[in-house]
Chain A
Amino acid sequence: MGSIYALIALGYTLVYGVLRLINFAHSEIFALGIYASAFAIEGWLGVTGTRTGLGLVGTLLALLAISMLVSGGAALLMERVAYRPLRRRNAPRLTALITAIGISLVVQEFLALRYGRSKITPQRLFEKESLFTFLGEEVRNDKVLVFVAAIVLMIGLDQFVRRSRLGRGIRATAQDAETAQLMGINIDRVVMLTFLLGGLLAGAAGFFNLIFFESARFNIGFLPGIKAFTAAVLGGIGNVRGALLGGLLLGVLEKYGAALFGGQWTDVFAFVVLVLVLLVRPSGLLGETLGRARA
């Protein structure tokens, strides 16, 4: 669970780092990723039973790609249609927040209207079995898969932001947008790229979430979204590695919290963590900048 939070948290962090904007609608991008893979399983790929071997690997990769693309595309669209006009006008922050809420409502309701308000449960892809026990916990194969894949994606992103030319553009924009623009960086492209990256990762998170829980509802994005935001803040919003650390940490904390106080309080627990972090160390564990060389 922690690694899913971390993947979503990265989207918040990237956008915040560049635009100083908390994209509340990011949780819906995640939800779209879930729905995309859910429908791809039966609709487009026509999977009817569990698969094994190479077939399974191929299916998983295809689904991952589909949900990443759908979410990435949705994130781009969102930036283009709803946020850019505001950015052009230098609109106050409250405006952007309200827009985000609007987007959230529209996407949620769209899913609800189109696919119904009740749970959807797509075909299971592979049998879940326990691989080994670790610290008294059974470790299932799907958990290992999700964890490893998420880590690979995150390392990929981290390297991309640190090493590549586009990543340098993102970091420069995060530090000083005006100067970056004067140095020949196309801000619009950087912003789009940021949304795209966030969207891709959220799509991946959505896919993993589906494998893990094997069901979805129209408002499924909300809670993980909030928790991912908590994770991002926990690690230091705007900081790529912070999001990673925060996500994993929150997953673990939540697990112990649930064991301690009972499962129905899990969600309350995340909020309490959020409030505490914001009060005690608002800049998070690793500090707030995407721009720093470390990020």
Chain B
Amino acid sequence: MSRIPALPKLPALPRVSLVDPLTRRWERLPWWGKALVLLGVLAFAIWYPSTLEPKWQSVLFFPVGVYILLALGLNVVVGLTGMLDLGYVAFFAVGAYTTAKLTAEGGGLTAWECILLAVLLAMVAGVTLGGPTLRLRGDYLAIVTLGFGEIVRIVAQNTPSLGQARGITAIPHPSSLAGLDFGIDPLPYVYLVLAAIVLAIFLIARLRRSRVGRSWAAIREDEDAAELMGVPTFKMKLWSFAVGASTGGLGGWIYASKVGFINPDTFPLNLSFLVLAAVVLGGLGSTPGVIAGAFAVGFIPEYLREFSGEETVLERLNSITGGEATDINEYRFFLFGLALILMMIFRPQGLLPSRQRAAELAEATGEQAMGAVAGVDEADVVAQHTGDRAATLEVPDDVDLPDDFIARAEEAQEEVLRLTDVTMQFGGVVALNDVSLTVRRGEIFGIIGPNGAGKTTVFNCITGVFRPTSGDIGLDGVSLVGKKPHHITEAGVARTFQNIRLFPNMTAIENILVGADARHTTSVPGAVVGSPKHGREERLGRAEALRLLDFVGIGRRVDEAARNLPYGDQRRLEIARAIATQPKVLLLDEPAAGFNPAEKQALVALIRQICRAGLTVVLIEHDMEVVMEVCHRIAVLDFGEKIAEGLPEEIQSDERVIRAYLGVEIDAP
């Protein structure tokens, strides 16, 4: 869709603004206020069902409770990680069938013993599906998951040991526990599902606030950039799938042990859509939103069914469609389908949107896309913020430290990064031809050349975006060729991008933390249980991130969303994010693009400081002043070949370089 240029905008879309003030008020509450509210909600959730008739208690268990649980799990995959899973009900089915098979018909286990197995097997199913398919993106992933959901159902339908179409019956109820007797009475099950929901909310919230949650957000925002910042994207996506699947499995366990029988028709494809509808209606990525959405999807049809005016509502609907439905429930999917379409048109962020999602969509409606900033009103932005920035980042006094600076460069003889005869072909096009470069530790190395000379391709080869056709790239003597980008980042290479690629809806500090997480080793289970290591890494990471923000001069911007930063600060933030991965070599791709002279001076100072801090810098830049001023040595590329390398003075007087840049025949009269 993005290929279609922005057409004349629609008049301001009507917005349902009732819930937004509520959301804002909530965000202003102090932590104890939030805790009180949550406790109140929990107390209500425990007390209220006991006052209801058994019929409504049943409704609270299924569909309402089970839907909420499933929606929470699906939200991890769709809302937090941004992968559309249309076969989610498959995991619900795996959990339920596991339970049924192991407890009923001589399976031998009790329901309680089965709970872990159901969750684990659903998780395994998630990983099995994820393994081969998570390389796919977006639409493709959606359709493959859709297929998976059907496969699970068809397998259940056709496997004799799973009861085929008849299903499995006589699944035993759990034995009584903590004074709750699990029999016919629905109330204990309401508490059971409530406990599961609270557990799921709690665990998922922990994950969200850890490096895992940040990785998910980064993947959703810009998967390629996330990988290059050291996020093991594949692994993290797999975890997202596994967490979502295990929640589904838990739901399956609860459902099977309450209802007592299951068959393939318990898990229709439409159930996947229904849960998705719940997530979307409530607000992708927002936990309260998702709960509200699932509640609405589960409860409203049941309510309407009892509603005294049902006859008229039903008749109305029937007269519209020309149908002969006798039960309002038959309209469930019709109405939710309609609701989905309308929501997407009028309030795509959902009823109770998450902060990030709302921002994302506000951006889509507004005209100022992040990448467009540079082109659209760069002059404005720059003019507006130059003064601003001068205040925060005064050019350090010791900018001219020529002696020290040059001395360092001369003693820097040890090589850190070496490219040996690197050739990169795309089909018939040779982007790089036998390029060899040696970068020494502690220096600032410039790569210049006309447009299309292959400068950024060099970066892409080093960082593993492309695998060179031939040749070798070594960091401290270890070859980087063929490694995944996030491994290369771990090995000590970090980069910025020519066209800024921050995670636009994450805050400045979150952006840096994603980079810093490349150095963190907390495992996913560690993040869930909150291991001491996790706490330590979070604290250190945070302190480090704040220090870095100060270092690049945007310390005041900690909690602003990256997309709201002025252009220059975005560039700085990107540099900070790269430094946060603690690289040996920092690759900067045209950092001065779009800067005015004052800003360029500040940038030169910053690069020197980075160098002084002990980092090796490789710089691609068009601005000759910047390059000549800051670089110790320079290589010149032209049409994919290195045509010169040397000290700045040497380069300035090199005939071939002049020819390449000015296109003049030296011998011409």
Q: Which of A30-38, A58-66, A80-88 interfaces with chain B?
A: A80-88
* Residues 163-222 of A contacting B (Cβ, < 8 Å): 176-178, 181, 187-188, 191, 222
Interface string of B145-161 (1 = CB under 8 A from A): 01110110011011000
- A113 CB contacts on chain B under 8 angstroms: 318, 321-325, 330-331, 334
> In the complex the two chains form, is A275's CB within 8 Å of B7's CB?
no
Whether the pair A87, B132 counts as a contact (CB closer than 8 A) is no
In-complex Cβ contact of A87 among B4, B318, B338 (8 A): B4
Q: Which of the candidate stretches B201-209, B341-349, B506-514 sits at the interface with the other chain?
A: B341-349
Report Cα–Cα, A267/B10, bound state, in Å: 43
Contacts of A255 on B, CB cut-off 8 Å? none
B-chain residues with CB within 8 Å of residue A114 when the two chains form the complex: 321-323
Partner of B10 from the list A85, A187, A278 (CB cut-off 8 Å) is A85
User: Does A20 contact B3, Cβ atoms closer than 8 Å?
Assistant: yes
Interface status of B391 (Cβ within 8 A of chain A): no
Residue of B2, B136, B158, B341 with most chain A CB atoms under a 10 A cut-off:
B341
Contact A106 B10 (CB under 8 A): no
Decide yes or no whether B109 CB sits under 8 A from chain A.
no
- The answer to whether the Cβ of B395 comes within 8 Å of any Cβ in the partner chain is no
Query: What residues of chain B lie closer than 8 Å to A222, measured between beta carbons?
Result: 269
Q: Map CB proximity to B onto A96-109 as digits: 1 under 8 Å, 0 otherwise.
A: 11110111111111
Counting from the closest, the 10 A-B pairs by CB-CB distance are A105-B337, A102-B340, A113-B323, A271-B147, A109-B334, A106-B337, A102-B341, A22-B139, A99-B344, A178-B5
- CB distance B341 to A106 under 8 Å? yes
Are B147 and A226 in contact, CB atoms less than 8 angstroms apart?
A: yes
Is A275 touching B345 in the complex (CB atoms < 8 A)?
no
Given A97-B142, A181-B5, A275-B144, output 12 extra A-B contacts at Cβ < 8 Å: A94-B84, A99-B341, A102-B340, A106-B337, A113-B322, A187-B4, A265-B158, A268-B150, A268-B151, A268-B155, A275-B132, A278-B133
Convert A64-84 into 0s and 1s, putting 1 for each residue whose CB lies closer than 8 angstroms to a CB of B: 000000000000000001100
Known: A87-B7, A271-B151. A93 touches B1 (CB 8 A): yes
Query: What residues of B have a CB within 8 angstroms of the CB of A88 in the complex?
Result: 7-10
Q: Is A89 among interface residues, defined by CB-CB distance under 8 A? A: yes
Q: Does B523 contact A (CB under 8 A)?
A: no
B527: Cβ under 8 A from any A Cβ: no
In Å, the complex CA distance between A278 and B137 comes to 10
Q: Are A91 and B1 in contact (CB under 8 A)?
A: yes
Shortest beta-carbon distance from A155 to chain B in Å: 28
Closest to B360 in A: A92
Q: Report Cα–Cα, A279/B136, bound state, in Å.
A: 8
A19: interface (CB < 8 Å): yes
What's the nearest-Cβ distance from chain A to residue B237, in Å?
Answer: 15
User: Within 8 Å of chain A (Cβ to Cβ): is B303?
Assistant: no
- Can you show 25 pairs from A to B with CB atoms below 8 A apart? A20-B3, A22-B143, A82-B341, A87-B7, A90-B364, A91-B348, A92-B1, A92-B364, A94-B82, A99-B340, A101-B273, A102-B337, A105-B270, A105-B273, A109-B334, A113-B334, A178-B5, A181-B5, A188-B7, A226-B143, A226-B146, A229-B143, A268-B151, A278-B136, A282-B136
Q: Which residues of A contact B452 (CB under 8 A)?
A: none
Q: CB-CB < 8 A to A99: which residues of B?
A: 340-341, 344-345
Given A102-B337, A271-B148, do A19 and B4 touch, yes or no (CB 8 Å)? yes
Determine the chain B residues whose CB is within 8 A of the CB of A181 once the complex forms: 5
Q: How far is the CA of A274 from the CA of B324 in the complex (A)?
A: 39
CA distance A274 to B269 in the complex (A): 18
Cα–Cα distance between A81 and B344 once the two chains are bound (Å): 12
Contact of B138 with A by CB under 8 A? yes
On whether the beta carbons of A85 and B345 are closer than 8 Å, the reply is yes
Q: B333 touches which one: A96, A108, A274, A282 (CB < 8 A)?
A: A108
Count chain A residues whose beta carbon lies closer than 8 angstroms to a beta carbon of B. Answer: 58
The interface size bin for chain B is: 35 or more
The verdict on A139 contacting chain B, using a C-beta distance below 8 Å, is no
Return chain A residues, CB-CB under 8 Å to B151: 268, 271
In the assembly, what is the distance between CA of A172 and CA of B143, in Å? Answer: 28
Question: In residues 124-138 of chain B, which contact A (Cβ within 8 Å)?
Answer: 132-133, 135-136, 138
CB-contacts of B169-187 with A (<8 A): none
Chain A residues with CB under 8 Å of B84's CB are: 94, 97
Contacts of A233 in B (CB 8 A): 140
Chain A residues with CB under 8 A of B340: 98-99, 101-102, 105
Q: Is B662 interfacial (CB 8 A cutoff)? A: no
A126 interfacial by beta-carbon distance below 8 Å: no
A264 interface residue, CB < 8 Å from B?
Answer: yes
Q: What distance in Å separates the Cβ of A221 from its nearest Cβ neighbour in chain B?
A: 12
Bound Cα distance A113, B6 (Å): 38
Contacts of B7 in A (CB 8 A): 87-88, 187-188
Residues from chain B with Cβ under 8 Å of A101 in the complex: 86, 273, 276-277, 337, 340
Q: Out of A21, A229, A274, which one reaches B1, CB within 8 Å? A: A21
Q: CB of A95 within 8 A of chain B?
A: yes
Residues of B within 8 A of A (CB): 1-10, 78, 82, 84, 86, 132-133, 135-136, 138-140, 142-144, 146-148, 150-151, 154-155, 157-158, 269-270, 273, 276-277, 280, 284, 318, 321-325, 330-331, 333-334, 336-341, 344-345, 348, 360-361, 364-365
A262 to B302, CA, bound (A): 41
Residues of A within 8 A of B364 (CB): 89-92
Tell me the bound Cα distance from A61 to B249 in angstroms. 52
- Is the Cβ of B348 less than 8 Å from the Cβ of A109? no
Is there an interface contact between A106 and B338, defined as CB atoms closer than 8 Å? yes
A160 surroundings in chain B (CB, below 8 A)? none
How many angstroms from the CA of A67 to the CA of B620 in the assembled complex? 60
Q: Which chain A positions have C-beta within 8 A of B155?
A: 268
Query: Which of B2, B135, B318 contacts A20 (CB under 8 A)?
Result: B2
List chain B residues, Cβ under 8 A from A20: 1-3
A105 CB to nearest B CB, Å: 3
Q: Is the CB of B140 within 8 A of A278?
A: yes
Q: Are B280 and A98 in contact (CB under 8 A)?
A: yes
Of residues 218 to 234 in A, which have CB atoms within 8 Å of B's CB atoms? 222, 226, 229, 233
Complex Cα–Cα for A85 and B345 (A)? 6
Minimum CB–CB distance for A104 against chain B, Å: 7
Q: A99-B341, A102-B339, A226-B143 are in contact. Are A109 and B3 (CB under 8 A)?
A: no
- Contact between chains at A19 and B3 (CB < 8 Å): yes
The answer for the CA separation of A210 and B337 in the assembled complex, in Å, is: 26
Residues of A within 8 A of B147 (CB): 226, 270-271, 274-275
| A109 pairs with B4, CB closer than 8 A | no
Q: Given the complex, which residues of B lie within 8 Å of A229, measured CB to CB?
A: 143
Beta-carbon contact of B333 and A265 below 8 Å:
no
Contacts of B323 in A (CB 8 A): 112-114
For residue B158, which residues in chain A have a CB less than 8 angstroms away from its CB?
264-265
A64 to B195, CA, bound (A): 57
* Closest chain A residue, CB of each to CB of B348: A95
Known: A20-B1, A106-B338. A97 touches B139 (CB 8 A): yes
Q: Closest Cβ of chain B: how far from A102's Cβ, in Å? A: 3
Enumerate chain B residues within 8 angstroms of A275, measured Cβ to Cβ: 132-133, 144, 147
Find the A residue at minimum CB distance from B339: A102
Q: List the A side residues contacting B333 at CB < 8 Å.
A: 105, 108-109
CB distance from A283 to the nearest CB of B (A): 11
The chain A residue sitting closest to B146, CB to CB, is: A226
Instruction: List the B residue with the shortest CB-CB distance to A99.
Output: B344
In the complex, what distance in Å separates the CA atom of A116 from the CA atom of B323?
A: 8
Q: How far is the CA of A20 from the CA of B136 in the complex (A)?
A: 15
Q: How far is the CB of A43 from chain B (nearest CB, A)?
A: 13
Do the beta carbons of A90 and B280 come within 8 Å of each other? Answer: no
Residue A110 interfacial (CB < 8 Å) = yes
A171 to B579, CA, bound (A): 45
The reply to whether B321 and A103 form a contact with Cβ atoms under 8 Å apart is no
Complex Cα distance A88/B325, Å?
37
Q: Which residue of B lies closest to A116 (CB)?
A: B324
Q: Report A31 CB to chain B, min CB distance, Å.
A: 14
Inter-chain CA distance A85–B330, complex, in Å, is 29
- Closest chain-A Cβ to B244's Cβ sits at a distance in Å of 16
Shortest CB-to-CB span from A284 to chain B, Å, is 11
